[in-house]
Amino acid sequence: MALDKAALVEFIYQLVAKAQGKKQLKAMDLQKAVLKEHPDQNKNDVKFAIKDLIDTGRCVYTYFGGSFVELPHEEGAAKKV
């Protein structure tokens, strides 16, 4: 069954949180993971749920040879303070 907006956002957040430090997930990985569990979920809902996570700052886009969705973390390349 398709998730409502708030539940979908939380579902995606948990996917990102569980993968943090182990696997970097692209937006499409998240979409595929959602559709695997909830095949009737609209793909656009997934896009906007990711947007919600980014706009609220709970997740960030990162670039490490490809663009990923991750939890905010320290920039490894920056000078350690």
Footprint on this chain of other proteins (rule: CB under 8 A): 26-28, 47, 50-51, 54-55, 57, 60-67, 72-79
Q: Least distance from C-beta 77 to other proteins, angstroms?
A: 4
Comparing CB distances to other proteins, the nearer of 1 and 78 is: 78
Q: Least distance from C-beta 30 to other proteins, angstroms?
A: 9
Residue 67's CB: how many other CB atoms inside 10 A?
A: 11
Q: Least distance from C-beta 55 to other proteins, angstroms?
A: 5
Please give the Cα distance from 64 to 36 (Å, whole number): 26
Element (H, E) at 52: helix 43-55
CA 9-11-15 angle, to 5 degrees, is 115
- The answer to whether 42 touches 2, Cβ cutoff 8 Å, is yes
